[in-house]
């Protein structure tokens, strides 16, 4: 566990506020027993929930990004803990601390540039025409004012700063 | 009942346009009142952007919802991810006044306002509730004598408290829609399990995510089916493109055709595999296509 510093105390309080109901956890393990990611990856959601209530180290834990948000754990938790909500909150706190997987930074850039996390490519333009669809879908991709609105909103929420201009050296997580 | 606006999202129009075509053909043929939601963006993807920043996630979702509010139409999604984001964001903003006001301050910057006047629908949920298996059956021109492995996908069912579609442990409504086309929905172990793509896992930890897909594919292969039928283009991609990615990593070939329900429905309504873009998948399975074209 990290030495408690003033910064860490604030961060831990933010985490505790965001994941209040994880404090009700009785460590029964129903969540980790139900977790498909846990069968194929290192994530142990029971331990992650426990860790979240105690230390800011959880924010750097790679396991935090192995959850597919399938909701099995949350559906079955006998203490009715909104586990997936806690995962979302912890991830978001991590991202606000500058911790983000490189590929996630890249996809965020695509959203800002195209209004889509998965933008159109040439092969699909051709396929669309052959199918009889508009070459460019009638989404923001064919609507410049719409794309401008998306960018204005993302800027107004500070999303560009969050995912764009970060120090690349922070964009790492530790393996547990 | 309000009319619908079709929300495309990202993966359907930009990676699997066959699903877009199938959806449009089926809606028109079944006389369902639906217009395209023009100018919409990424929903934005729940596993990614909901994880990064809740306000930005809500604001972008709100803009998409407002576009449809302005048309006085409910949104029809054809993707579990889009459904998850738009249905959850819509509910969160309807329930939480303070949050709604916060999001509306951002929306004011683009001259829009979230009112909370519409609902978000998923095509599977919509077809089952509004037409029902019998109503669908009436439209069938070409009954499909095939064995299908249904994959519900997580966010169609869960969180079950919010979705209200019954038990997530043993759901039946999607199986019923498949059987209404003459097909048989085959039971297989871990049927409701995750494909592995969601939560940003496929994008950042692809090999890990493919292990979940491979687990399901091997269960499905053992069950012996003609195709996998899904309700979500992201699960679709994970199973279709994923089979090729798994082959490259492990050498194992599954060669199972993957269809979005709208494509299966399209076949039953009499459209050809070409019109529905089934041949645009990575996994081409000529035996399956020929069987359909030759009327089995
Ligand atoms: S199922 Fe709920 S109570 Fe049991 S260990 Fe997991 S989070 Fe804790
Ligand atoms: S939501 Fe995440 S942690 Fe919970 S069971 Fe699914 S993959 Fe595991």
In degrees and rounded to multiples of 5, residue B6 shows phi and psi of -85, 120
Residues of chain A neighbouring B156 (CB-CB closer than 8 A): none
Query: Is the pLDDT score of A157 beyond 70?
Result: yes
Q: Which of B24, B40, B45 sits opposite A117 (nearest CB)?
A: B45
Ligand 1 near A52 CB (within 6 A): no
Predicted confidence (pLDDT) per residue in B14-67, tens digit: 999 999 999 999 999 999 999 999 999 999 999 899 999 999 999 999 999 999
Percentages helix, strand, coil for chain B, rounded to the nearest 5? 55, 10, 35
Give the helix/strand (H/E) hosting B185. Answer: strand B184-185
Q: What is the mean pLDDT of residues A126-145?
A: 97
Predicted confidence (pLDDT) per residue in B124-183, tens digit: 999 999 999 999 999 999 999 999 999 999 999 999 989 988 888 999 999 999 999 999
Q: Average per-residue pLDDT in chain B?
A: 96
Q: Could A150 and B41 be called an inter-chain contact, meaning their C-beta atoms sit closer than 8 Å?
A: yes
Q: Which three-class secondary structure state does DSSP give residue B227?
A: strand
Q: What is the pLDDT of residue A168?
A: 42
Residue of the nearest CA to atom 2 in ligand 1? A77
Percent of the residues in chain A that have a pLDDT greater than 70, as a whole number: 89
Bridge partners (DSSP) listed for residue B35: B5
Cα–Cα dist B76/B124, whole Å = 10
Percent of the residues in chain A that have a pLDDT greater than 90, as a whole number: 77
Residue of the nearest CA to atom 5 in ligand 2? A35
Q: What is the mean pLDDT of residues B249-274?
A: 97
Provide residues with CB under 6 Å of ligand 2. A 34-38, 45, 67-73, 83-84
Q: What is the mean pLDDT of residues A119-139?
A: 98
Predicted confidence (pLDDT) per residue in B185-225, tens digit: 999 999 999 999 999 999 999 999 999 999 999 999 999 99
Residues of chain A neighbouring B168 (CB-CB closer than 8 A): 71, 75
Q: What is the mean pLDDT of residues A144-163?
A: 94
Percent of the residues in chain B that have a pLDDT greater than 90, as a whole number: 93
Residue of the nearest CA to atom 2 in ligand 2? A67
CA neighbor of A68 nearest in space, from A81, A55, A84: A84
Determine the distance in angstroms separating the CA of B249 from the nearest CA of chain A, rounded to an integer. 16
Cβ of residue B53 closer than 8 Å to a chain A Cβ: yes
Residues of chain A neighbouring B200 (CB-CB closer than 8 A): 65, 101, 104
Query: Is the pLDDT score of A5 beyond 70?
Result: no
pLDDT band, very low/low/confident/very high, at A8 (cuts 50, 70, 90) = confident
Q: Could A139 and B40 be called an inter-chain contact, meaning their C-beta atoms sit closer than 8 Å?
A: yes
In degrees and rounded to multiples of 5, residue B77 shows phi and psi of -105, 155
Ligand 1 near A77 CB (within 6 A): yes
Determine the distance in angstroms separating the CA of A60 from the nearest CA of chain B, rounded to an integer. 14
Tokens matching residue A115: 């209004």
pLDDT band, very low/low/confident/very high, at B184 (cuts 50, 70, 90) = very high
Cα–Cα dist A153/B170, whole Å = 40
Q: What is the pLDDT of residue B289?
A: 87
Query: Is the pLDDT score of A164 beyond 70?
Result: no
**What are the distances in angstroms from CA B17 to CA A60, B11, B81, B155, B276?**
38, 8, 17, 22, 9
Determine the distance in angstroms separating the CA of A1 from the nearest CA of chain B, rounded to an integer. 24
Q: What is the mean pLDDT of residues A69-98?
A: 96
Q: What is the mean pLDDT of residues B243-250?
A: 98
Cα–Cα dist B26/B34, whole Å = 11
Q: What is the mean pLDDT of residues B262-277?
A: 97
Q: What is the mean pLDDT of residues B226-249?
A: 98
Strands B34-36 and B4-7: parallel
Predicted confidence (pLDDT) per residue in A54-79, tens digit: 899 999 999 999 999 999 999 999 99
CA-based nearest residue in chain B for residue A100: B52
CA-based nearest residue in chain A for residue B102: A157
Cβ of residue B38 closer than 8 Å to a chain A Cβ: yes
Q: Which of B51, B107, B201 sits opposite A88 (nearest CB)?
A: B51
Predicted confidence (pLDDT) per residue in B97-114, tens digit: 999 999 999 999 999 999
- Regarding pTM above 0.90, the answer is yes
Q: Could B199 and A69 be called an inter-chain contact, meaning their C-beta atoms sit closer than 8 Å?
A: yes
Nearby residues of A17 by Cβ (< 8 Å), 6 or more positions away: none
């Amino acid at each position: 566990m990290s030495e408690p510093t003033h910064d860490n105390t604030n961060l831990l309080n933010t985490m505790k506020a965001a994941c209040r109901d994880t404090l009700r956890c009785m460590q029964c393990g129903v969540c980790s027993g139900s977790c498909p990611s846990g069968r194929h990856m290192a994530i142990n959601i029971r331990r992650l929930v426990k860790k979240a209530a105690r230390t800011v180290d959880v924010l750097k834990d790679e396991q935090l990004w192995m959850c597919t948000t399938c909701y099995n754990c949350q559906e079955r938790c006998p203490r009715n803990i909104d586990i997936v909500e806690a995962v979302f909150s912890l991830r978001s706190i991590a991202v606000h601390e500058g911790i983000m997987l490189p590929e996630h930074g890249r996809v965020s850039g695509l959203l800002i540039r195209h209004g889509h996390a998965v933008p159109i490519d040439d092969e699909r333009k051709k396929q669309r025409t052959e199918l009889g669809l508009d070459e460019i879908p009638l989404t923001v991709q064919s609507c410049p004012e719409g794309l401008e609105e998306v960018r204005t909103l993302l800027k107004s929420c500070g999303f560009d700063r969050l995912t764009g201009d970060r120090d690349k050296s922070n964009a790492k997580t530790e393996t547990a | 009942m309000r009319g619908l606006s079709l929300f495309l999202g990202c993966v359907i129009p930009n990676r699997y346009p066959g699903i877009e075509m199938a959806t449009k053909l089926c809606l028109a043929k079944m006389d369902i009142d639906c217009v395209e939601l023009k100018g919409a963006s990424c929903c934005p993807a729940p596993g990614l952007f909901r994880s990064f920043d809740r306000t930005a996630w809500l604001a972008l979702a709100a803009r998409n919802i407002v576009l449809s509010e302005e048309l006085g139409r409910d949104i029809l999604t054809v993707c579990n991810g889009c459904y998850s984001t738009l249905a959850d964001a819509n509910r969160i903003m309807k329930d939480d006044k303070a949050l709604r006001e916060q999001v509306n301050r951002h929306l004011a910057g683009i001259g829009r306002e979230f009112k909370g006047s519409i609902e978000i629908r998923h095509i599977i949920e919509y077809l089952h509730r509004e037409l029902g298996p019998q109503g669908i059956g009436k439209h069938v021109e070409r009954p499909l004598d095939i064995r299908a492995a249904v994959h519900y996908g997580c966010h169609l069912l869960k969180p079950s408290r919010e979705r209200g579609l019954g038990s997530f442990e043993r759901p039946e409504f999607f199986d019923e829609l498949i059987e209404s086309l003459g097909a048989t929905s085959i039971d297989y172990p871990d049927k409701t399990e995750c494909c592995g793509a969601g939560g940003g896992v496929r994008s950042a930890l692809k090999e890990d995510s493919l292990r979940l897909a491979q687990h399901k594919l091997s269960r499905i292969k053992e069950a012996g089916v003609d195709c996998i039928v899904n309700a979500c283009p992201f699960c679709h991609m994970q199973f279709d493109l994923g089979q090729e990615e798994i082959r490259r990593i492990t050498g194992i070939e599954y060669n199972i055709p993957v269809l979005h329900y709208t494509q299966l429905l399209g076949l039953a309504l009499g459209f050809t595999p070409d019109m529905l873009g089934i041949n645009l998948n990575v996994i081409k399975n000529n035996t399956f296509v020929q069987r359909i074209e030759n009327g089995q």
